[in-house]
């Protein structure tokens, strides 16, 4: 698997752990322990980055949820589909905690994961919220057009 493929897999696994924590109302340590019991085939680099994203998302959960809420016009977090909510949490954690990763990469990767786990209607919503969050976190960025190859 390429480095890009491992990073996407890490993001996907982080979203899955966040989903499990959210929907199962479970403690982060319990989720992490149980989650990895059945995933022995995940290489150390992939697991490490997904753990980093999960830890960032859970340790800064209140801040991340406030950011998402403030950029989700007319949507309460509790009313969002769980996959979308946790994709937003993982991506926001990466935007906050990993400034060396370009915001466009974080957003595009989140949209690719959404294509696999969410609905087609979610893509524009996720793109808009993440673009807005990224401009607040990293204000020197130009706005995204919302148009990219493959959308």
* Domain assignment of residue 118, yes or no: yes
* Domain assignment of residue 95, yes or no: yes
Q: How far apart are CA 43 and CA 142, in angstroms?
A: 35
* Domain assignment of residue 144, yes or no: no
Domain boundaries, position 57: 3-137
Residue 124 is part of a domain; what is its CATH number?
Answer: 1.10.940.10
Give the pLDDT score at 134: 95
pLDDT in tens, 21-77: 999 989 999 999 999 998 888 999 999 999 999 999 999 999 999 999 999 988 888
Q: How far apart are CA 46 and CA 36, in angstroms?
A: 12
Q: How far apart are CA 133 and CA 61, in angstroms?
A: 15
Question: What total of structural domains would you count in the chain?
Answer: 1
* Domain assignment of residue 30, yes or no: yes
């Amino acid at each position: 698997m390429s480095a890009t493929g491992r990073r996407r897999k890490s993001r996907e696994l982080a979203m899955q752990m966040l989903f499990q924590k959210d929907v199962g109302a479970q403690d982060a340590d319990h989720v992490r322990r149980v989650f990895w019991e059945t995933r022995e085939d995940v290489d150390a680099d992939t697991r490490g980055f997904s753990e980093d994203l999960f830890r960032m998302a859970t340790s800064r959960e209140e801040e991340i949820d406030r950011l998402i809420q403030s950029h989700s016009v007319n949507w309460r977090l509790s009313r969002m589909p769980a996959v979308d909510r946790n994709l937003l949490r993982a991506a926001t954690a990466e935007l906050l905690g990993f400034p060396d990763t370009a915001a466009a990469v974080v957003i595009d990767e989140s949209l690719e994961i959404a294509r696999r786990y969410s609905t087609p209607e979610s893509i524009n919503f996720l793109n808009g919220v993440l673009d807005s969050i990224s401009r607040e976190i990293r204000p020197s960025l130009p706005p995204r057009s919302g148009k990219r190859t493959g959308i």
